[in-house]
Amino acid sequence: MEQEVPVIIHGEHEPLPGKPGEEPVIADQLKEIGHSLSEVMTSFRESESYEQIEQVFEQTKDYIRKNPARAMLYSLGAGALLGLFMRKRR
């Protein structure tokens, strides 16, 4: 079953749909959100929590390299349990 979907591409010279003379507010809001997220990520990377997460991540990678079969079995078990929990919720 095929359907044609109209695609509208807005260039820089074309105004976005809305009320005439109204500036697009969404773009400004997205810039503010992006700036806020950037500040939060920067402060998180400078925190001790980030360093602890990096250490645990490195330890996990080392464990998987040293014990690939055991790590695979753990992930299969976790996936099976998650699947059972998800199936019972429905």
CB of 75 within 8 A of CB of 67?
no
Residue range 18-63, pLDDT digits in tens: 565 555 677 888 888 988 999 888 888 888 888 899 999 999 999 9
pLDDT at position 66? 97
Name the residue among 35, 10, 34, 37 with its Cα closest to residue 24.
10
pLDDT at position 24? 64
pLDDT at position 78? 96
CB of 47 within 8 A of CB of 54?
no
| Predicted structure pTM score | 0.48
The residue ranking higher by pLDDT, 74 or 29, is: 74
Domains of the chain by residue range: 25-89
pLDDT at position 18? 57
Overall average pLDDT of the 65-69 stretch: 96
pLDDT at position 7? 63
